[in-house]
Amino acid sequence: MVRSTARLSVLLALMVYLPAFGQEAGSTAIPFPGGAVPPITITVPGGYLLEVPNITAPVTGAPLIIIGAPPAGAPFQHVVIDLNGYALDNTANPGFPVIVYPGGAPAEIVIKNGTIIGGSDGIAVTGGARPTGFT
């Protein structure tokens, strides 16, 4: 009986801590404390982990996640977004990307492990003119 209780305790402990195994050290949860109302704007460099199963944007006329310019004084923008296997849906805003980094260099951007639906682009790293003509 004692052994069974101990096993149960270990199992419960694993269930509590296992979700953290997939999270990068120091990651900030998305949505941010206080809830997520798209667009979600990230300006602070660091790691971000989507912790709710799926975010569907209402009609906002905006991207769902914007990776903005770093705070004043930060040397460059460094953002890792782990979508944790969940989905971002910006179908309601077909004129805007789902995730966008409109800024310039220097920057290091990582986006991984998600399902990205709708929008003008799934993932857009923009900021400049496109060449025209390709004959």
Chain residues that interact with another protein, rule: CB under 8 A: 76, 83, 91, 94-98, 101, 104-131, 133-135
Rounded Cα–Cα distance for residues 38 and 63 (Å): 8
- Closest approach of Cβ 52 to another protein, in Å? 17
Q: Which is nearer to another protein, 46 or 106 (CB)?
A: 106
Q: Which is nearer to another protein, 72 or 129 (CB)?
A: 129
- Closest approach of Cβ 45 to another protein, in Å? 13
- Closest approach of Cβ 103 to another protein, in Å? 8
Record the tokens describing residue 100, joined without a space.
């966008």
- Closest approach of Cβ 93 to another protein, in Å? 9
Q: C-alpha 52: how far from its chain's center?
A: 11
Q: Which is nearer to another protein, 2 or 105 (CB)?
A: 105
Q: Which is nearer to another protein, 51 or 86 (CB)?
A: 86
Q: Where are the beta strands (DSSP E) in the chain?
A: 28-30, 40-42, 46-50, 55-56, 65-67, 77-82, 87-90, 99-101, 107-112, 115-118, 123-125
Nearest Cα residue to 91 out of 124, 126, 112, 121:
121
Rounded Cα–Cα distance for residues 75 and 31 (Å): 25
